[in-house]
């Protein structure tokens, strides 16, 4: 008789967008450590491939702005693994442009990646999971969608606020089909996006965090693993805050 696996995601398959660097790569690693097999996707050539090779995962290049390409990539992952149990909509663009300087093109592109891309991700995975009667969708939101942020642009904030509404709508729609949809709202996680800020701005950000430090990418990954695990089966439409106490509600 074989003993049951202690890994919470053993036997599951996850699909992660924007997995070539930063939090997406950390999330893919965390899911793999929890026992899942992972499809890693990114728009940048070569990025997801490196992490996929490390994890024995499947690398796919796709642009989340393009619904047909997104659906095609998802279909390839389904063909490769048999099914997808966990969808993580992580890909995003994080500009810091002042609201006085945002061009219409920049506004449209940020909304197209962060919000429209996640809409496509929820819909593509949602159809597949609805048919199977099970699944988990996790959307990477941000504290910037809940509170004004000095570190990111208003287009980014608007996209992340929209993502919370999107999460609740898909959660409502998919709940009767055994699919949960939740948002994770991190802030100030040690990542390439944060590294890009000048040191004075980083210090000012840190000073406003009650726990007195930036978050670790592994802490974001652990929260995604939790939302994807059997332990979170009764949670849907929720926003999980991960911000060192910077925003309490
Ligand atoms: N880093 C933080 O402190 C922080 C805080 C709150 C929320 N978040 C959210 O977490 C997620 C990851 O953040 P990060 O800091 O790792 O960002 P990042 O910019 O380091 O990584 C984003 C990834 O998405 C990919 N990507 C960009 N456009 C794409 C497209 N059109 N199609 C497919 N892939 C695309 C990029 O190539 C990159 O690999 C984002 O949703 C972000 O909004 C991050």
Is residue 5 assigned to a domain?
no
| Closest CA to ligand 1's atom 10 | 140
Is residue 188 assigned to a domain?
yes
In angstroms, what is the span from residue 3 Cα to ligand 1's centroid?
Answer: 38
The tokens for 37 are 């097999």
**Overall average pLDDT of the 42-69 stretch:** 96
Query: What pLDDT is recorded for position 197?
Result: 82
In angstroms, what is the span from residue 57 Cα to ligand 1's centroid?
Answer: 19
Q: Give me the chain's average pLDDT, please.
A: 96
Is residue 6 assigned to a domain?
no
Does residue 84 line the site of ligand 1, with CB under 6 A?
no
pLDDT tens-place string over residues 142-188: 999 999 987 899 999 999 999 999 999 999 999 999 999 999 999 99
Is residue 124 assigned to a domain?
yes
Instruction: Answer whether residue 1 shows pLDDT above 60.
Output: no
CB under 8 Å to 159, separation ≥6 — which residues?
92, 110, 111, 113, 114, 115, 145
CATH number at residue 200: 3.40.50.720
Is residue 211 assigned to a domain?
yes
Query: What pLDDT is recorded for position 196?
Result: 83
Query: What pLDDT is recorded for position 132?
Result: 98
Query: What pLDDT is recorded for position 201?
Result: 85
**Overall average pLDDT of the 127-138 stretch:** 98
Number of domains the chain contains: 1
Does residue 51 line the site of ligand 1, with CB under 6 A?
no
Is residue 225 assigned to a domain?
yes
Contact 106, 95 (CB under 8 A): yes
Residues with a catalytic annotation lie at 156
In the structure, what pLDDT confidence band is assigned to residue 194 with cuts at 50, 70 and 90?
A: confident
Does residue 184 line the site of ligand 1, with CB under 6 A?
no
In the structure, what pLDDT confidence band is assigned to residue 198 with cuts at 50, 70 and 90?
A: confident
How many other CB atoms are there within 10 angstroms of residue 153's CB atom? 22
Pocket test of ligand 1: the residue of 49, 94, 205, 221 to mutate, having most ligand atoms within 8 Å of its CB, is 94
Instruction: Answer whether residue 2 shows pLDDT above 60.
Output: no
Residue 124, domain extent? 13-242
Pocket test of ligand 1: the residue of 19, 21, 22 to mutate, having most ligand atoms within 8 Å of its CB, is 22
Does residue 46 line the site of ligand 1, with CB under 6 A?
no
pLDDT tens-place string over residues 205-234: 999 999 999 999 999 999 999 999 999 999
Secondary structure of the chain in the HEC alphabet?
CCCCCCCCCCCCEEEEECCCCHHHHHHHHHHHHCCCEEEEEECCCCHHHHHHHHHCCEEEECCCCCHHHHHHHHHHHHHHHCCCCEEEECCCCCCCCCCCCCCHHHHHHHHHHHHHHHHHHHHHHHHHHHHHCCEEEEEECCHHHCCCCCCCCHHHHHHHHHHHHHHHHHHHHHHHHCEEEEEEEECCECCHHHHCCCHHHHHHHHHCCCCCCCECHHHHHHHHHHHHCHHHCCCCCCEEEECCCCCCC
Instruction: Answer whether residue 7 shows pLDDT above 80.
Output: yes
Is residue 57 assigned to a domain?
yes
Query: What pLDDT is recorded for position 195?
Result: 86
CB under 8 Å to 87, separation ≥6 — which residues?
14, 15, 121, 122, 125, 129, 135, 136, 137, 138
In angstroms, what is the span from residue 196 Cα to ligand 1's centroid?
Answer: 13
């Amino acid at each position: 008789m074989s003993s049951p696996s202690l890994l919470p995601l053993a036997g599951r398959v996850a699909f992660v967008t924007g997995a070539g660097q930063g939090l997406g790569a950390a999330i893919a690693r965390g899911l793999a450590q929890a026992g899942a097999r992972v499809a890693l996707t990114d728009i940048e050539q070569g990025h997801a491939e490196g992490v996929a090779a490390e994890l024995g995962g499947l690398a796919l290049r796709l642009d989340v702005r393009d619904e047909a390409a997104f659906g095609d990539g998802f279909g390839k992952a389904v063909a490769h693994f048999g099914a997808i149990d966990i969808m993580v909509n992580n890909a995003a663009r994080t500009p810091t442009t002042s609201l006085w300087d945002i061009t219409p093109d920049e506004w449209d592109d940020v909304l197209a990646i962060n919000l429209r891309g996640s809409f496509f991700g929820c819909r593509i995975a949602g159809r597949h999971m609805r048919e199977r009667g099970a699944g988990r969708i996790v959307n990477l939101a941000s504290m910037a969608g809940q509170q004004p942020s000095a570190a990111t642009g208003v287009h980014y904030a608007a996209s992340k606020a929209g993502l919370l509404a999107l999460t609740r709508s898909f959660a409502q729609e998919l709940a009767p089909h055994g699919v949960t949809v939740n948002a994770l709202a991190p802030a100030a996680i040690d990542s390439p996006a944060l590294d890009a800020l000048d040191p004075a701005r980083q210090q000012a950000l840190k000073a406003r965090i009650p726990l007195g430090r930036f978050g670790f990418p592994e802490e974001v990954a652990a929260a995604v693993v939790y939302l994807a695990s059997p332990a979170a089966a009764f949670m849907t439409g929720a926003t999980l805050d991960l911000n060192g106490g910077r925003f309490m509600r």
